[in-house]
Structures are given as structure tokens and as C-alpha cells.
Chain A
């Protein structure tokens, strides 16, 4: 089963197989130190800049800022969730768990 993903409404949300799945305004915890100098970036998602599919993973680069230090920019590729290859169902990750952008 193929996966159709795109961002819409000026990057407000990500559609996976024509269902709105991931919104802006969530807070994401990012590890890796590439976005800002904080030990753990407390990242507010303000807009989805690019989306893609890598295998079963739905990924995106997100514009936003760290609400601890104020650094703003665009993240590396983050996994938003995974599409079940059998059913096409989307299983989102938990934004506030720790993620490492690629």
C-alpha cells in the first residue's frame, strides 16, 4: 500500500492518506543539540516545511523555535509516525518524548 503525505494550509498540518494527522502547536523534545544549545530542545512546531515518506515512516522538517532559549529555525527530518503497511493506519509518535532529527 502506498502512502500519500502532504502539508497543507500554509504548513498548518500534515495529511497522511488524506486524513489530518499532525498539527502545528505541539511541543517536541529534540535531542542531538543541532537545533540549539539547550541540552534538550523544547521545540514548538509552528509550520511543516517539508514532508516525505521513508519506508513506512512519515517524516517532516518543521519550522519553529525552542521555547527555552528562543532559537528559531527549521529542524532536520523528524519522524512523525509510521503507517501500517497492511492497513494504512497512521500511528503518530508522541511529540513530547525525545526525538533525534536526522
Chain B
């Protein structure tokens, strides 16, 4: 049957709004989703039309002509495309302002690059209202070792790009459906105890897969971790593709790429990687990356990565974005099929089976009592110098401090600044004789190498301040929590590193499932009114036996969280077995025991943003009602007329 299609929604037969076309086998009146289920999503259509490098030309055109030059009926499409160049339109009430993400592979920057970030933040990342905790301009260091700036105007983008690119930084593919920033240990090559220096490999992957037409347009984001250390600092378990350090004896019976083995007498022990795929945390569907039983030599990492991202490009689900991530393809196919398709269709050498990993040595965010779980503090480099890990509470640093840190690093001869997945920062290459002077620098009283455990372990995502998805206020709240905990709660003996991850929603950008205490944004009713709240999880972490948190307390009002944590730590202190870590303490208890461990409680902590921050145009504005928003604004920040 043939009938007129009355829809424009995602209809591939009716490209032009208001111009019905002819649709076969469709009954007029049926809901669009019912017959569009087999069609690519609207985002896929936009990507088909324009995506990748070519977006840059359009961005620069809109920048020159101004925000209002983006046609009203094309804005959603352009905002979706801009992500590929690292620009994310801020939430409702903040129209015309963008978050800009700068991808720094493995979080590594030179002091010069860091200074440029600070200068760009100071000049361009200022909005109509200051943040009460962080001031007018700041940079966010993210859990994927990138940098986010807010309140960016599209008119400033070309100048910002020029400044960033003059020092070798870029926003390319920082968001969108492609290869994202590659994560790993920033101190690779400097770490005194690592299997492989992965920095050259990561540079190769970055160069090959950024701006590469073959991998420009994937079904969804593609997150890669490369780990060569013995700490597990790449956190590969929560990535789409993880290269995990491993050794393998490769003999004549098991050929591999270049057949370099000298194996006539039993084989050659090779340091390389085991390959895992399909990890991720989002949408209440957390998955640990799963082994596909492949060992990969360092020189083959790019070939294997190309094969797996090509497989994802070709077989990932482009019809349903909620089912598009690699983790769902691994669920559907199983690891054996992933391996066989990779072997048969994407790689032209015989893949060796997995080698012996180093997982039992992992201590990064592992909840161990015998090792720190982060890079904070002073640690030895392989060359006899030191790197100094500084705590950056919730990963946000004022622009002036970013610049000062860059200056300090340069003054002390550092060639490497590292951003970690715990939202902290590392300054490398500090000589022994300079160490005391460096540690005495006033800036380090704010960003300490020896912070209080509650300040050290706190992570938070962007939250309702800017993000469309978030349910609750996050960064400022985590700052208030950490301060209250520091002032009011005794740290259990022996605990130096206690991880609290606060995420505003199920997207899990603060990695809530892998923390000692996991907080995930929620709402509840209190005294009859709706208030911001959290689901509380306990005992998550990575390491030898990675484990997601058990969700034990649901919908706890945000002002009762500090009291809950205080009560919980009191129980832990009283009932733990010897030096048992908090994570071990949780692992030893079943669900019922965990649910009854402690009670939420009101305390002296007061939460000034307990009500619905999402209803405001900006939570910290004096006039915060949505109708008071100045957005959209022009290049100078002056309000522009709207149709509303």
C-alpha cells in the first residue's frame, strides 16, 4: 500500500519539513517510532550530511556571522555536529553558550600548553555570573584526562582554536561519535615501575585516529585506554577498548605479525598487551571490558585498534543510540565472535591468544590498604627525579591558578604536566634538590600533595550548573561535602585515600560505580517538597578484582548525605577487621548487612541548593529563575531578542 506520510520526524522519505512524500507499507496515523525502528536515527542522518573535519568550515562561518546566523531549524543538527570539534551546547537557560573540551592524550601537557589553557580560560571562559566557589574563570580537569571550559561563545572559537593550536592542543573529536581522548598514565615513560612506556603508542594512535576519515563517523563514542604500568592507571576496565599490560611467550607454534620470534628453543617472551573490549558505566548498564583472548605486541596496537574500531563502525547499532555502545555489541555477539570477526575481516595477521596480565599488581583506584590508589604525593621517576601529584578538589582550578601552576612547572624545569583520571594534576621532573622549594610554593597550599583524605578522594561531574542530563548540583556540593567531612568526621586510622565519586545522573561521568562511596543524582520528597537527593553505593573499585558498587541506600536527601557518611565511617572504624580497607570491609558483607550499616541523618551541614537547581537558568545567579536568563546572548554577552 502507498499512502501520504504526514511526518517529518526522522522520516527518510520526507526530507523536507512540510512536504509529504510517499511511503510504502505505512499506514497513516501510526506513531513514527513504530515504523522508524528500522531506520537510522536522526542523528545518523545529520552525520551523513555533514560530519568530521568539514564541520570546522561551518563553525568558522557561524563564528564570523554570529550565533544568530545558525538557522533556527538547523540548530539541533549543528549543535550535534559541533561536538565533533569539542563544542557542547550548554543546557536550557544558557543558549548560545558552549562547553569546550580540549583532548589531551593521557592527560599530558607541557607547561606552555597548560599556560595557554589558563590564558584561554581567563579570556574566554567567563559567563554572566561567577561561581561562588571558583570565581569567574576556571578549567575543569575531567575523569577522562581532558579539559573543559564553560561559557564559550561561538564567535570566539576561531581565536581560541588558533591559540590552542599554536601550542599543539586541539579540541578535535573531544566529543561526538568518534575516537575520544585516549586515556592512560600521564607518567608513562617516567614511572619507575612500568612494563612498557606507552606514550609513543598513544601518540601514534592519537595521530592516526584523529581526523581520519575512516573513523570519523562511528555509531557512538569510542573510548580507548592504554596501560603500560603496573598500577592499572589506565582504568581500561571501563573503556570500549583497553590495552592491558601483559607478557607472552610467543613460540613457533603461535605465529604473530612480523614472525620475529627467535623461537627455535621455545619462544621469546614479549611485553605487550592483552586486549579487552566493551567496558563502560553509563545508563545503569555498567560493564567491565571483557577479554577477547588476544595478545598484541606494541607495534601492532594501531592495527588492532583500527580493526576493532572498524568493526564497531561497521557493526555497531546505528538505529538505536541507546544500544549503540560497544558494550552492547559485545553483549550481543559474545567475545568469541568479536575475536573471530576481528581476525577474519579486519586484521591481516594471526592474532596470538592472550598473555599473562599484571592485574594482581594493580593498585590504581583499587581500594587497597597497602598502596595509594592515586598519583597524589611525591613519587620517584625512573630518571631519579620526582613527580609531584597535587590534589585538585573536584578537578576544577581557577584560570589564574592554572597559569601560575604552568609558570611554576616551567620555573622548576618540568617538561610534563599530567591530568589524572582522578581529576588531579601531576607536575613531573622535579629534581631532588628543588623538591623542598617546590613543596613550599604557596600555590601548593591550595593544591596539596598531602591533602586531607576527603579532599583527596573527591570527584564530581559537571552537574546541573551546565549539563542537560544532570539531575542535581554536583561540583560545588562536593566541595561543601568535603569541607564539612574534613571539619566534622574523624578519618579512620590508616586511611589516607578515601574515594567519594559524585555523579549528577546515570551517565556516570564521575565514575560513581568505582568508588568507596558512590553518589548518583536523584530526587526525593522531604517535608512534602521535592529535593535533590542521591542513591548511595558502596565498595566499588578497579584493581585485581574490579567490582561495581553495591547500591545500598536510595533517594537520600542531599542534606543527609554528610551525616550518612559520618555514621558509616564510624561503623567501619568500629567493626573493621584489623587494617581491612573500606572496600574490603564492604566486600565482606552481604546486601542486607550493607543496607543496615548506617542511617542518613541531618547534621550541621546545610545545603543552600537543595531544591531543583535544574529549574534555574544558573543555580548561582541572584535572579535564578529561567525567565531571568540573559541567554541567548551575542558575542559581547548582551541578550539577543528571541521569539519567546
Instruction: Report which A residues bind B (CB closer than 8 A).
Output: 1-6, 8-13, 15, 17-20, 23-25, 27, 42, 44, 46-47, 49-54, 59, 67-68, 70, 72, 77
Residue of A nearest to B523 (CB): A44
Residue of A nearest to B78 (CB): A18
Residue of B nearest to A65 (CB): B522
Given contacts A1-B18, A12-B91, A23-B91, 7 further A-B contacts (CB under 8 A): A4-B17, A8-B76, A8-B80, A20-B95, A46-B506, A47-B469, A70-B554
| Nearest chain A CB to B412 CB, angstrom units | 42
User: Would you call B315 an interface residue if the criterion is a C-beta within 8 Å of the partner chain's C-beta atoms?
Assistant: no
Question: A5-B9, A18-B74, A47-B283 are contacts. A10–B614 as well, Cβ < 8 Å?
Answer: no
CA distance A4 to B32 in the complex (A): 11
User: Would you call B7 an interface residue if the criterion is a C-beta within 8 Å of the partner chain's C-beta atoms?
Assistant: yes
CA distance A1 to B10 in the complex (A): 16
Residue of A nearest to B31 (CB): A52
User: Would you call B602 an interface residue if the criterion is a C-beta within 8 Å of the partner chain's C-beta atoms?
Assistant: no
The answer to whether B524 and A25 touch across the interface, beta carbons within 8 angstroms, is no
| Nearest chain A CB to B534 CB, angstrom units | 12
| Nearest chain B CB to A23 CB, angstrom units | 6
- Range of interface residues on B (Cβ < 8 Å): 35 or more
The answer to whether A25 and B470 touch across the interface, beta carbons within 8 angstroms, is yes
Q: Mark B490-513, 1 if CB is under 8 A from A, else 0.
A: 000000000000000111000000
The answer to whether B522 and A67 touch across the interface, beta carbons within 8 angstroms, is yes
User: Would you call B61 an interface residue if the criterion is a C-beta within 8 Å of the partner chain's C-beta atoms?
Assistant: no
Question: A17-B73, A44-B523, A52-B9 are contacts. A27–B471 as well, Cβ < 8 Å?
Answer: no
Closest 5 CB pairs of A and B: A12-B468, A12-B469, A25-B614, A2-B8, A25-B471
| Nearest chain B CB to A97 CB, angstrom units | 14
The answer to whether B555 and A15 touch across the interface, beta carbons within 8 angstroms, is no
Contact of A9 among B469, B471, B533 (CB under 8 A): B469
User: Would you call B371 an interface residue if the criterion is a C-beta within 8 Å of the partner chain's C-beta atoms?
Assistant: no
Chain B positions 1-34 with a Cβ under 8 Å from a chain A Cβ: 6-10, 17-18, 31-33
User: Would you call B612 an interface residue if the criterion is a C-beta within 8 Å of the partner chain's C-beta atoms?
Assistant: yes
Kindly list chain B residues whose C-beta atoms are within 8 Å of the C-beta of A46: 471, 505-506
Kindly list chain B residues whose C-beta atoms are within 8 Å of the C-beta of A72: 284
Residue of A nearest to B92 (CB): A20
Question: A6-B10, A46-B506, A54-B31 are contacts. A24–B469 as well, Cβ < 8 Å?
Answer: yes
Kindly list chain B residues whose C-beta atoms are within 8 Å of the C-beta of A13: 92, 468
CA distance A2 to B42 in the complex (A): 16
User: Would you call B525 an interface residue if the criterion is a C-beta within 8 Å of the partner chain's C-beta atoms?
Assistant: yes
| Nearest chain B CB to A15 CB, angstrom units | 5
CA distance A44 to B92 in the complex (A): 18
CA distance A20 to B467 in the complex (A): 13
| Nearest chain B CB to A41 CB, angstrom units | 13
Kindly list chain A residues whose C-beta atoms are within 8 Å of the C-beta of B95: 20
Q: Mark B51-78, 1 if CB is under 8 A from A, else 0.
A: 0000000000000000000001111100
Kindly list chain B residues whose C-beta atoms are within 8 Å of the C-beta of A25: 464, 470-471, 523, 612, 614
Kindly list chain B residues whose C-beta atoms are within 8 Å of the C-beta of A2: 6-8, 17-18
Kindly list chain A residues whose C-beta atoms are within 8 Å of the C-beta of B283: 10, 47
The answer to whether B523 and A4 touch across the interface, beta carbons within 8 angstroms, is no
Contact of A47 among B32, B73, B506 (CB under 8 A): B506
| Nearest chain B CB to A1 CB, angstrom units | 7
The answer to whether A18 and B471 touch across the interface, beta carbons within 8 angstroms, is no
| Nearest chain B CB to A50 CB, angstrom units | 5
Q: Mark B36-51, 1 if CB is under 8 A from A, else 0.
A: 0000001100000000
User: Would you call B333 an interface residue if the criterion is a C-beta within 8 Å of the partner chain's C-beta atoms?
Assistant: no
Chain B positions 440-469 with a Cβ under 8 Å from a chain A Cβ: 464, 467-469
Contact of A27 among B7, B73, B74, B530 (CB under 8 A): B530
| Nearest chain A CB to B458 CB, angstrom units | 23
Residue of B nearest to A50 (CB): B33
Residue of A nearest to B533 (CB): A67
Kindly list chain A residues whose C-beta atoms are within 8 Å of the C-beta of B555: 67, 70
The answer to whether B471 and A53 touch across the interface, beta carbons within 8 angstroms, is no
Kindly list chain A residues whose C-beta atoms are within 8 Å of the C-beta of B522: 44, 67
Residue of B nearest to A53 (CB): B9
